[in-house]
C-alpha cells in the first residue's frame, strides 16, 4: 500500500471544504447582490480565497501522478473515480426523482451519467480526459532533463492560460484561445513542486498569499463595484492571481511538519482525504436538498449562516461518501482486483 502523505491529505481536505464554501456563495444570493459596502467587500475577499478549491485538486494530481506511465494497470486506476461518480450520480438522480418527480429508469440514468448531467460532474468530465493524457503528459515533462527547461514550460503554459486574467481586462493583449487547457498548467506545476521542493519561509509565504488575495479582491471589487459580481478571466480558476494564491497555499502546507500531529488527528485527515472525491460529488446533492428546501432565506454574508450550513453540508456529504466508499471496496475486492491480477 502506498504510504500516505499527510500534507497532501490535508490539502485535499482544504480543497473539498473550499468547494462547499464556494457553493455557499452561489446558493445564498451573493451573485444577485450589488458589490458595495464593507460586508460585500469582505464577502468578495472570502469568495476569492475559496476559489483555490479546484486548483488545489489539480496541483495535487500533478504532484501525485508525475511518474505514472502507460500500462493496462494504470488505466484500471480510473475505476475508483468512475465507480464513485456512478454511485454519487445514483444518489443525485434518486433525490431528483423523489423531490421533483423526474424519471429514474435505466435509460434516463445512463443518459444523465454519460452526458455528465449530474451536480458537480464537470470536474469528472475534465479529469477523465486528463487521466487518459497523463502518461503522455509525463513523457513531455520527464524528458525535459534540465530544471530551467521545466521552468520555461510552466512559464509558457502560464502565458497561454493564465496571464490573460491581468493583461486582458481592458484590452486583448495576450491571445486567449488556449485558456481552456489551464488544468495542464496546474498539472505541470504539481509535477514541478514534486520534483523540486520549493521552500518559502512561512511568514514570507503568508505575506505573499495575503498580497495576492488582496490584489485579486481589489480587482474584483473595482470591476464589479456598483453592480452585481462580474465573472471574467480575471477571477476564473485559470487567472494568474488564482494560480499564485493556490500555489502559495500548496507550498505553505507541504512545508509544514505535520508528522508531530496527534495520531488520531492524522487518521481523521487521511480518512477525509480518501473520501474527498465522494464528498465533492455528493455535496452537489446535499446543496440542492438543503438550500432549496431548508435555507432559502439565508443571506450569504451571514457568519452564522456560513458556520451553520457549510459544516452541515460537509458532514452530510462525508456520511454519503462513507457509504459510497464501502460499496466501492466491495466492488474492488470482488471485481477490480481480479481483473488487475489477470493482467
CB 283 within 8 A of CB 19: yes
Query: Does the residue 273 lie in any domain?
Result: yes
Query: Does the residue 340 lie in any domain?
Result: no
Query: Does the residue 175 lie in any domain?
Result: yes
Query: Does the residue 1 lie in any domain?
Result: no
Question: Which residue numbers in the chain have pLDDT < 70?
Answer: 1-2, 169-170, 297-301, 336-343
Q: Which residues contact 145 (CB under 8 A, 6 or more apart)?
A: none
The residue among 52, 73, 68, 66 whose CA lies nearest residue 237 is: 52
Query: Does the residue 342 lie in any domain?
Result: no
Q: Which residue has the cell 459580481?
A: 229
From CA 238, how far away is CA 160, in angstroms rounded?
A: 10
- The pTM score is 0.93
Query: Does the residue 50 lie in any domain?
Result: yes
Query: Does the residue 65 lie in any domain?
Result: yes
From CA 72, how far away is CA 90, in angstroms rounded?
A: 28
Q: Give 245-264 as a DSSP string.
A: HHHHHHHHHHTS--TTS-HH
Give 77's Cβ-side CA count (13 Å radius).
Answer: 15
Tell me what pLDDT residue 301 has.
59
From CA 55, how far away is CA 176, in angstroms rounded?
A: 19
Look at the chain and report how many structural domains it folds into.
Answer: 1
Q: Which residues contact 64 (CB under 8 A, 6 or more apart)?
A: 8, 190, 194
* Domain residue limits at 290: 6-335
Tell me what pLDDT residue 3 has.
78
Query: Does the residue 343 lie in any domain?
Result: no
pLDDT, tens digit, for every residue of 190-239?
A: 999 999 989 999 999 999 999 999 999 999 999 999 999 998 888 899 99
Tell me the backbone φ, ψ of residue 180, rounded to 5 degrees: -60, -15
Amino acid at each position: 500500500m502506498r504510504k500516505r502523505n499527510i500534507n497532501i491529505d490535508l490539502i485535499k481536505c482544504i480543497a473539498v471544504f473550499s468547494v462547499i464554501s464556494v457553493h455557499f456563495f452561489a446558493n445564498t444570493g451573493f451573485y444577485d447582490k450589488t458589490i458595495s459596502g464593507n460586508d460585500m467587500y469582505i464577502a468578495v475577499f472570502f469568495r476569492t480565497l475559496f476559489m483555490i478549491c479546484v486548483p488545489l485538486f489539480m496541483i495535487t494530481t500533478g504532484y501525485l501522478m508525475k511518474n505514472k506511465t502507460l500500462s493496462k494497470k494504470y488505466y484500471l486506476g480510473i475505476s475508483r473515480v468512475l465507480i464513485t461518480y456512478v454511485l454519487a450520480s445514483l444518489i443525485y438522480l434518486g433525490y431528483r426523482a423523489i423531490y421533483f418527480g423526474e424519471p429514474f429508469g435505466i435509460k434516463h440514468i445512463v443518459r444523465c451519467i454519460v452526458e455528465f448531467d449530474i451536480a458537480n460532474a464537470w470536474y469528472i468530465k475534465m479529469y477523465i480526459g486528463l487521466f487518459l493524457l497523463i502518461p503522455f503528459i509525463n513523457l513531455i515533462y520527464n524528458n525535459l532533463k534540465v530544471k530551467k527547461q521545466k521552468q520555461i514550460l510552466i512559464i509558457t503554459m502560464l502565458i497561454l492560460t493564465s496571464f490573460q486574467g491581468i493583461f486582458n481586462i481592458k484590452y486583448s493583449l495576450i491571445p486567449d484561445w488556449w485558456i481552456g487547457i489551464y488544468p495542464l498548467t496546474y498539472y505541470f506545476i504539481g509535477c514541478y513542486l514534486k520534483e523540486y521542493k520549493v521552500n518559502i519561509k512561512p511568514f514570507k509565504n503568508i505575506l505573499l498569499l495575503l498580497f495576492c488575495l488582496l490584489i485579486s479582491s481589489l480587482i474584483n471589487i473595482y470591476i464589479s463595484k456598483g453592480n452585481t459580481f462580474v465573472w471574467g478571466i480575471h477571477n476564473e480558476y485559470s487567472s494568474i492571481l488564482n494560480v499564485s494564491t493556490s500555489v502559495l497555499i500548496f507550498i505553505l502546507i507541504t512545508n509544514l511538519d505535520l508528522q508531530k500531529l496527534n495520531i488520531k488527528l492524522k487518521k481523521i485527515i487521511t480518512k477525509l482525504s480518501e473520501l474527498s472525491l465522494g464528498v465533492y460529488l455528493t455535496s452537489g446533492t446535499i446543496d440542492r436538498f438543503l438550500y432549496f428546501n431548508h435555507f432559502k432565506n439565508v443571506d450569504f454574508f451571514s457568519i452564522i449562516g456560513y458556520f451553520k450550513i457549510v459544516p452541515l453540508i460537509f458532514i452530510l456529504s462525508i456520511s454519503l461518501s462513507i457509504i459510497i466508499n464501502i460499496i466501492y471496496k466491495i466492488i474492488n475486492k470482488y471485481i477490480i482486483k481480479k481483473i488487475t491480477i489477470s493482467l
